[in-house]
Amino acid sequence: MAFIKPKSLIGLDIGSHSIKVVELKHQKKRYDLKNFGVAQLPPEAIVDGVIMDSSIVAESIRNLFANLKIKAKNVATSVAGHSLIVKKIPLPLMTEEELEEQIQWEAEQYIPFEIDEVNIDFQILGPLPQEEGQMEVLLVAVKKDIISDYTAVIAEAGLSAMVVDVDSFAAENLFEVCYPEKIDKPTVLIDIGAGIININILKNGVSAFTRDITMGGSTFTEEIQKELGLSYEEAEILKLGGSSDQASAEEVSNILSGVTDNVVLEIQRSLDFYSATTSEEEFQGVFLAGGGCMVPGLAMAVEERLGIPTQILHAFKGLGISPKDFDPDYLEAMGPVAAVAAGLALRRTDER
Ligand SMILES: Nc1ncnc2c1ncn2[C@@H]1O[C@H](COP(=O)(O)OP(=O)(O)OP(=O)(O)O)[C@@H](O)[C@H]1O
Ligand SMILES: [Mg+2]
């Protein structure tokens, strides 16, 4: 067999609020940051994870690559949201080859879409100790039209999608690289994006539970908009700490803390559900990612309500960074936002 050198890929996270790009240099024992950038999208470009205006998205990607002077064309991207099913299912013990042949048939009952509308992937997690002859399988199903929409927009930008991953898997990979000392104990990873909060409980570096909540950074913006009778854009500025003669800082802060309470309550419900279905030992910590986690006071509210040490994930921690190329304060601030893109940039072409 010819030896093909695995190629690194550019991590491209196409979120509904912004596009993030991370380029890493894969060294022998570490990763160096080569490039990082973000481009904001108008709220109507991607709605509920569906690309509504592909030319705006393609142009933003193209401009971002041009501004960062990235020459490479091969990217790893990811999908999330309602077009994606990630489930753990029990199946009779069999080999990977056997399951490859049967997965379509086995998966059918677990997927709320027509089986020929989805691409299916799986990972055998291991035998189920409680049930003899059974094993646990991680089933991943993504609607084909979503994959083709994302790969088409990337092609329209002059690039090529070599890998289409899942947001939460990419964040998981990144977490393992940034916080290797934390993977032996159960950890809660929470990505608060614009429209979706993804909760992912990691055990021994593998996802033990995942759940999406249909809330996020835009829930805060919409509440300011509604309460104060402003446009979405005005509300967004106020949320990010900007001032306006239409509202006092105190009014804004009260609205934000009201929404924070609801968000934290929903997160707690998910964790309670998980705890009720497992005899779980304690979580060592909660790590928050996504732009929405930067709402002032949110991390603290999560920590207080859950009673678990909580911190904001810093995606660039543990990477080789040359201070002359990057402003450390900027990277620190963007750490949670870059998590998925950085996780995608860890991928190589030789992976499936
Ligand atoms: N400093 C900040 N303080 C508060 N909110 C912020 C801050 N920076 C970004 N946000 C909010 O974070 C959200 C965007 O986060 P992110 O970029 O992670 O979302 P996305 O990945 O584009 O969306 P999704 O994953 O839901 O498709 C927006 O609602 C934005 O207003
Ligand atoms: Mg996101």
Same domain, 74 and 220: no
- Rounded-to-integer distance, Cα 200 and Cα 61, Å: 28
Nearest-5° Cα angle at 163, 97 to 85: 65
Q: What is the CATH number of the domain that holds 214?
A: 3.30.420.40
> What's the pLDDT at 2?
57
Same domain, 93 and 186: no
Same domain, 109 and 221: no
Same domain, 90 and 72: no
> What's the pLDDT at 206?
82
- Tell me the one-letter amino acid at 338: A
Same domain, 45 and 148: yes
Alpha carbons within 13 angstroms on the beta-carbon side of residue 157 total 30
Q: How many domains does the chain have?
A: 3
- Rounded-to-integer distance, Cα 303 and Cα 260, Å: 12
> What's the pLDDT at 207?
86
- Per-10-residue mean pLDDT, the chain, length 352: 72 97 93 97 92 97 97 95 89 95 92 92 90 93 95 98 95 93 91 96 87 95 97 95 89 97 97 85 92 97 97 95 92 97 90 49
Same domain, 29 and 167: yes
What residue numbers bound the domain in which 95 lies? 84-142
> Which of 18, 46, 47 for mutating ligand 1's site (highest number of atoms within 8 Å of CB)?
18
Q: What is the CATH number of the domain that holds 130?
A: 3.30.1490.300
Same domain, 240 and 304: yes
Same domain, 258 and 297: yes
Residue 49, both tokens = 């994870």
Residue 38, both tokens = 């973000």
Same domain, 43 and 111: no
Same domain, 210 and 135: no
Residue 78, both tokens = 């990811």
> Could you say which of 92, 120, 142 is where a domain stops?
142
> What's the pLDDT at 323?
85
Same domain, 55 and 187: no
Same domain, 155 and 168: yes
- Ligand 1 atom index nearest CA of 49: 27
Residue nearest atom 8 in ligand 1 by C-alpha distance: 291
Largest CA distance in the chain: 69
Please list every protein residue whose CB sits less than 6 Å from any atom of ligand 1.
Answer: 15-18, 193-196, 216-218, 236, 239-240, 290-292, 294-295, 337
User: pLDDT tens across 51-93, in order?
Assistant: 999 999 999 999 999 999 999 999 999 999 888 999 999 999 9
> Could you say which of 92, 113, 142 is where a domain stops?
142
